[in-house]
Structure 1
Amino acid sequence: MKSLLTRQRRLNPIYLSFMAVSFMVGVAGALQAPTLSLFLTREVQVRPFWVGLFFTINAIAGIAISLLMAKRSDTQGDRRNLILFCCLMAVLNALLFAFNRHYLTLITAGVLLSAIASVAIPQIFALAREYADQSAREVVMFSSVMRAQLSLAWVIGPPLSFALALNYGFVTLFSVAAAIFLLSMVLIWRTLPSVPRVVATPEQVLTQLSPWRDSQVRLLFIASVVMWACNTMYIIDMPLYISATLGLPEKLAGLLMGTAAGLEIPIMLLAGHYARRYGKRPMMLLALVAGILFYLGMVLFTSRTALMALQLFNAAFIGIIAGIGMLWFQDLMPGRAGAATTMFTTSISTGLIIAGLIQGTLSERFGHEAVYWLALVMAIVALLLAARVRDVRT
């Protein structure tokens, strides 16, 4: 009887709906992002400078909109309605890119729609945290399995994105993305719960005035920015490094990325399991040690076999910080799931901006190897910062 009740609890339809929504929204995003630079170059026909400018403005707009909407999401309205609105903006954004080739329109209206749409994922995770807290569901494993859906989406999405774009064109690609977002809206509307707001304690009200007043939140945010900057520098530079510097086949870049994404899924699930036993802080510090070993390996080893083997450390680094990092922010900011999740996603966007500026300058002046030396140093700095953040058991 006990095992039957446990099985029914695990097959909670709302739980499964969160999994499905995370996966579908993740796939829709993973369809658009990988080929965006190719789209701007081939279809819109702009120079590399304008491609880089588009990504920079898009990231900055995403941060600004996320922070503005996060504060409101924790205090007003139904979070589910906000998610539906963001997905609607994602549909409109995908359709705009499908049928418009005017750069000024894309960098204004397109960036605005994209920035609002990017709020959907953190809000889905914030709603999931509130649901887990309300229903006494195990938070860490629940969130880890959800986060694994995004990794799975990024295993499937990029190859499908290139296949659709190169074989059927960008109109088809963006139309498919719009259709997936539309289906996600139906699923969200029909299945995800509306979770009542929890009245904050006086201590939590003081924290809500500004998360920046909490030195622990500041430290974790800075550490997270540094971590994601390391990862983004690697993603930007690696295809150029293996082809131009190491003389290895260009297709190896896709194989390395796919291998890491595939390994991230079981690592996320294992991290969720062990975080319950040992805490989030030890798992994050373990991830950073793996990151340090990975970037050290990128400096020392140059063979195809070694690069493939190093993806295990890369997957451990990203798999753990992607799943546990968000939960650590939420634990440090009780009662503010939306703001905490947005702080985490903002750290990713900030890391992306910093990485873009550093990678281009560093590789042009000192060569691609310098990128990995700097990433190694930055990973060590992130470890020292994260070690100063307290663990919060929930």
Structure 2
Amino acid sequence: MTDLTSLAFLLIAFLTGIAGALQTPTLSLFLTTEVHTRPILVGLFFTGSAVIGIIISQIIASYSDRSGDRKILIVICCLFGALGSVLYAFNRDYFLLLTVGVLLSTFGSTATPQLFALAREHADRTNREVVMFSSILRAQISLAWVIGPPLAFALALGFGFKTMYLSAAVAFVFCSVIVWYALPSMPKEKRADNARLQAPRQNRRDTLLLFIVSALMWTCNSMYIINMPLYLITELQLSEKLVGIMMGTAAGLEIPVMIIAGYYAQRFGKHKLMKNAIIAGLLFYIALFFFTSPWILLLLQILNAIFIGILAGIGMLYFQDLMPGQAGAATTLFTNTIRVGWIIAGSLAGTVAEIWNFHTVFYIAAVMCLVAIFCLQGIKPTK
């Protein structure tokens, strides 16, 4: 039974990853070509989406750690995500997408941190090795991003954005069905557990610094995702299909990076792995200053994969270690660093592209990596 449940976790992570990978890589292109928005409004859209996401996910996380059943929450989030995808398929009004569309899609993305929180509790209950199980689970999302971006651009360019978004809706619905029938139900008992909730206070400073580090790293990645498609197509005059191939290549390389990082986490520690990830990211963005050849850009995805692979796999576990007993809050806090990254990236990427050019964004990303290394040095190393 436990093995079947673990397989269900892996399949659900893959499906939620597919749903996100079908939408996020093409969103800036969708807003530009279908909704006909200016670059600065594209950035505003990403920022608004992230702000709403932080508010909703924190409310859900606070509730899920105290009472309720994560399984039911995940089902609800997936169904709302499906409704959001349907809205994107048939609507082209910018402000309706920015309000109702973003609200619904935010619920869909909130299913992921709840899934990882439930997976952590399941691993603890069944005495499964947490780091490796979480790394393999996170690798499923990367596997989805190997398939998702090329598929997204193929569907959008070959059959239209309507087909692409409806495909994402189907993935969400299928995911909700599997969650309902296959995942364990772990309802929380309502109780006074102030001691548990106060435990992270001793790690408050380190948690804050880790939040800043993670947010800066995700900001770099988000600016890259927002501007890279438009940079390759409009400035370098490269093929639109190359965008999907590059994203898929990076995601494919992230899988072995996550598994290897999970294997060596106990030996080297999460702190050292995070530092190596930032250094790889710094080298990646510096290299983008100088190289524009498609083949070299594809090779550079190795550095990008190390940067994001370690962050996505180890970063979440680092938060959980600093916040014992609060799997939902810790996982959501990590996920919200992604959303903070989108907020900063949405503001910077659109503004910088409109004032200067898309290439300038990579200079800013390199500086952020340097700041992230400085902040990481202030965190007390732990296993």
Q: TM-score, length-normalised on structure 1?
A: 0.88
Partner of 1:71: 62
Partner of 1:283: 273
Alignment equivalent of 1:206, drawn from 192, 198, 221: 198
User: Contact conserved, 1:292 with 1:380, CA < 8 A, in 2?
Assistant: yes
Alignment equivalent of 2:157, drawn from 166, 177, 185: 166
Distance 2:140 2:252 in 1: 11
- 1:268 is aligned with what amino acid? M
Deviations 1:46-103 (A, max 9, x none): 5555444333222211111111111111001111111111111112222222333444
Partner of 1:5: none
- 1:353 is aligned with what amino acid? I
Partner of 1:342: 332
Q: Residues 306-321 of structure 1 correspond to what in structure 2 (within 5 A)?
A: 306-321=296-311
Alignment equivalent of 1:114, drawn from 85, 105, 110: 105
Q: 2:349 matched to 1:359?
A: yes
Could you tell which deviates more after superposition, 251-260 or 311-320? 251-260
- Structure 2 vs 1, CA of residues 276 and 334 (structure 1 numbering), >3 Å: closer, same or farther? same
Alpha-carbon RMSD across the aligned residues, in angstroms, is 2.6
Give the greater-gyration-radius structure (CA): 1
Q: How many residues align?
A: 382
Unaligned runs of 5+ in 2: none
Give how far 1:40 is off: 3.9
Q: 2:87 matched to 1:96?
A: yes
Q: Residues 233-252 of structure 1 correspond to what in structure 2 (within 5 A)?
A: 233-242=223-232, 251-252=241-242
User: Contact conserved, 2:43 with 2:351, CA < 8 A, in 1?
Assistant: no
Identity over aligned pairs, percent: 53
Unaligned runs of 5+ in 1: 1-7
Alignment equivalent of 1:218, drawn from 194, 202, 208: 208
User: Contact conserved, 1:200 with 1:335, CA < 8 A, in 2?
Assistant: no
Q: Residues 136-147 of structure 1 correspond to what in structure 2 (within 5 A)?
A: 136-147=127-138
Equivalent residue of 1:34, what SS? helix
Which fold has the larger relative contact order, with Cα–Cα distance below 8 Å and residues 6 or more apart in sequence? Answer: 2
Give how far 1:333 is off: 0.6
User: Contact conserved, 2:74 with 2:111, CA < 8 A, in 1?
Assistant: yes
Partner of 2:53: 62
Equivalent residue of 2:378, what SS? coil
User: Contact conserved, 2:9 with 2:119, CA < 8 A, in 1?
Assistant: yes
- Structure 2 vs 1, CA of residues 200 and 295 (structure 1 numbering), >3 Å: closer, same or farther? farther
- 2:373 is aligned with what amino acid? L
Alignment equivalent of 2:116, drawn from 122, 125, 133: 125
Equivalent residue of 2:127, what SS? coil
Could you tell which deviates more after superposition, 262-271 or 294-303? 294-303
Partner of 2:323: 333
Deviations 1:17-42 (A, max 9, x none): 10000001111222222333444445
Give how far 1:312 is off: 1.1
Distance 2:202 2:227 in 1: 32
